[in-house]
Structure 1
Amino acid sequence: MIHLFHEASQTCSQDITRTYSTSFASAIRLLHKDLRAPICNIYGFVRLADEIVDTFHEFDKQRLLSEFKVETFAAIARGISLNPVLHSFQLTVNQYEIDHDLINAFFHSMEMDLDRKVYDEKGYEDYIYGSAEVVGLMCLQVFCEGKKEAFEKLKTPARALGAAFQKVNFLRDIQADYNGLARVYFPCCDFNNFTAEDKRRIEEDIHQDFKAAYRGITHLPLKARFGVYVAYKYYLSLFRKIRKMQPSTILHQRVRIPDYHKVLIILRAGLKNKLRLIAPQTGSISEMESSF
């Protein structure tokens, strides 16, 4: 009857996904049914670690994160955990043979969040890799379902998509990160004097990540392509909205995409998918997007 525990644990990770991110939850529902639970299992795990470093201020965060890391690898080794999030995560790690180096890199970035407040270029790149790019690679291992050649081909775009999502989050959450947690992720930025040139430079970097990511999305297995494309479109819409704002505005206002706009994104993406426009092809992101 252990399958009941498997199901209950994965339901817990699905509930965490829906509670913390309605946008990601909507995109995950558009994946093939075989992929939904494994991706929620990854998200639930990532979300729990992120909560430790970002919100558990009244507790010993360093100890909690250290214990969580030990329990994670113990769950993977044993093939079971009484923590339902870790149990569901180990199911996915073991089934899809997710590289343990990716998990270690993720924990390294979470550990950086415990005490580092300002990032230089090297620290920024390391943090982005561990907090976002490796999550994209974990998901890619699920999407490729053991096909190593496909995984190797799509590694670079998967990293770019994870990086784009994280950097957009940084721009969107400047107010909370800087004023609430005293963190400055972007190197060489002074948010007491955040200029239009600072913002433009960051946005150009993100634009390049989105370009690289799109080329990979069009080559994803069909089971994953539509759901990932919708998540990409949501973040691209968020990014476009941020680009239109003044630096002083994003320092004091968290940008959101209205629910009706999210529905339109799904409907338009669905039409594009039916017309087979989300398919391998050449061209830049601007060419791709202007065609719809």
Structure 2
Amino acid sequence: MAGKPSGTTLYLPKRCRHLPGWSRTSVKAPQFSTHLGLYSRTAERASSRVIREYSTSFGLATRLLPAHTRAGICNVYALVRIADEIVDGTAEEAGLDDALRRGVLDALEEETLAALERGFSANLVVHSFAMTGRAASIEESLVRAFFRSMRRDLEPVVSLSEEQYRTYVHGSAEAVGLMCLRVFLQDHQVWEEDLSRLEAGAARLGAAFQKINFLRDFAEDSQRLGRTYFPGTSPGTLNDHRKSEIIADIDADLAEARRVLPLLPPGSRRATALAAALFTELNERLRRVDAASLHQARVSVPNRVKARILAETLIPLPSGRGS
């Protein structure tokens, strides 16, 4: 690392309690000399499978991460995915009404927080998240913020105020971005000044991803789920002017996130750049379609374009102070 800048202090990542059966306080390969080591590895594989089944773009970006970091990020996103399935239709398709889905979501939150405390869960996805959360010092407040936003999806989501919208985005996206940052910094030291910038960038990148998803999924969200997240919109009311405002807001989020990319550890920098580039491309495609089209269809990035973006991302990025 470079010499200490004047007026700043060094941030040393906090360590949680050691996980029994593991050789170190990280999510790197467990020791198979214990039953818990084997169980944890199985849980990790289960979470990885969840990601492969549900998200091709996310899976592509994670392949650029070091193995232990990739496992931690998959463990975070697998829990996010399971919570999404409770509120976004899968549980309803299984016959659960709103009250039952709320009960299942509440139980998942309680189990997640308990697993963070005790280091074990009978739910493999929760166990893998807790394993990562304890090693990377993911705060309980981030977990609670995430589940609070997930519960909001069990209520009517229409005509949100600006405050309700920002609260939802914080829990559903910014909090997840900060969880991922904790995983990225798990084995690294950064200056406090850089940490503040990284946290702001992680939150903005998570928010950008969420807003882009809101736009591209506008048809399904509004027609099937009866949800419109953006203030000033309701089913069937998104117009070109409002869409342009949303795109400009996303542009600002992405620009801020890109500015702090060089401060990330080298192992996570390129994968984050790829994810940002893929969503930037998606944002550009959303920019080029009119609002009326978003009421009818979902915009996506073709695989050939994803391959081109991947090749461009493999060009070395400039190093940050903490590289």
Q: Following TM superposition, by how much is the alpha carbon of 1:279 offset from its aligned partner in structure 2, in angstroms?
A: 4.2
What is the total number of aligned residue pairs between the two structures? 277
Q: Following TM superposition, by how much is the alpha carbon of 1:280 offset from its aligned partner in structure 2, in angstroms?
A: 4.9
Residue 141 of structure 1 corresponds to which residue in structure 2?
182
Tell me whether 1:81 sits opposite 2:121 in the alignment.
yes
Give the counterpart of 1:103 among 121, 133, 143: 143
Tell me whether 3-12 or 137-146 shows the greater mean CA deviation. Answer: 137-146
Alignment RMSD (CA, Å): 1.4
Tell me whether 252-261 or 186-195 shows the greater mean CA deviation. Answer: 186-195
Tell me whether 108-117 or 147-156 shows the greater mean CA deviation. Answer: 147-156
Give the counterpart of 1:197 among 232, 236, 241: 241
Moved over 2 A (4+): 146-153, 190-194, 278-281
Tell me whether 66-75 or 40-49 shows the greater mean CA deviation. Answer: 66-75
For structure 2, the residue ranges without an aligned partner over 5 or more in a row are 1-33
Counterpart CA distance in 2 for 1:267 and 1:249 is: 30
Judging by fraction of residues, say which structure has more helix.
Answer: 1
Counterpart CA distance in 2 for 1:200 and 1:279 is: 34
Q: Following TM superposition, by how much is the alpha carbon of 1:263 offset from its aligned partner in structure 2, in angstroms?
A: 1.0
Output aligned runs, 1:166-177, within 5 Å. 166-177=210-221
Q: Following TM superposition, by how much is the alpha carbon of 1:71 offset from its aligned partner in structure 2, in angstroms?
A: 0.9
Counterpart CA distance in 2 for 1:92 and 1:190 is: 38
**TM-score, length of structure 2 as denominator length:** 0.83
**TM-score, length of structure 1 as denominator length:** 0.92
Residue 288 of structure 1 corresponds to which residue in structure 2?
none
Counterpart CA distance in 2 for 1:263 and 1:248 is: 29
Q: Following TM superposition, by how much is the alpha carbon of 1:33 offset from its aligned partner in structure 2, in angstroms?
A: 1.8
Give the counterpart of 1:239 among 277, 283, 291: 283
Q: Following TM superposition, by how much is the alpha carbon of 1:217 offset from its aligned partner in structure 2, in angstroms?
A: 1.4
Give the counterpart of 1:66 among 90, 101, 106: 106
Counterpart CA distance in 2 for 1:193 and 1:112 is: 21
Q: Following TM superposition, by how much is the alpha carbon of 1:255 offset from its aligned partner in structure 2, in angstroms?
A: 0.7
Q: The residue matched to 2:154 in structure 1 has which SS?
A: helix
Q: The residue matched to 1:116 in structure 2 has which SS?
A: coil
% identical aligned pairs: 38
Residue 171 of structure 2 corresponds to which residue in structure 1?
130
For structure 1, the residue ranges without an aligned partner over 5 or more in a row are 282-292
Tell me whether 1:257 sits opposite 2:301 in the alignment.
yes
Larger radius of gyration: 2
Counterpart CA distance in 2 for 1:180 and 1:194 is: 16
Q: The residue matched to 1:114 in structure 2 has which SS?
A: coil
Contact 1:41 1:89 in 2 (8 A): yes
Counterpart CA distance in 2 for 1:109 and 1:47 is: 14
Q: The residue matched to 1:218 in structure 2 has which SS?
A: helix
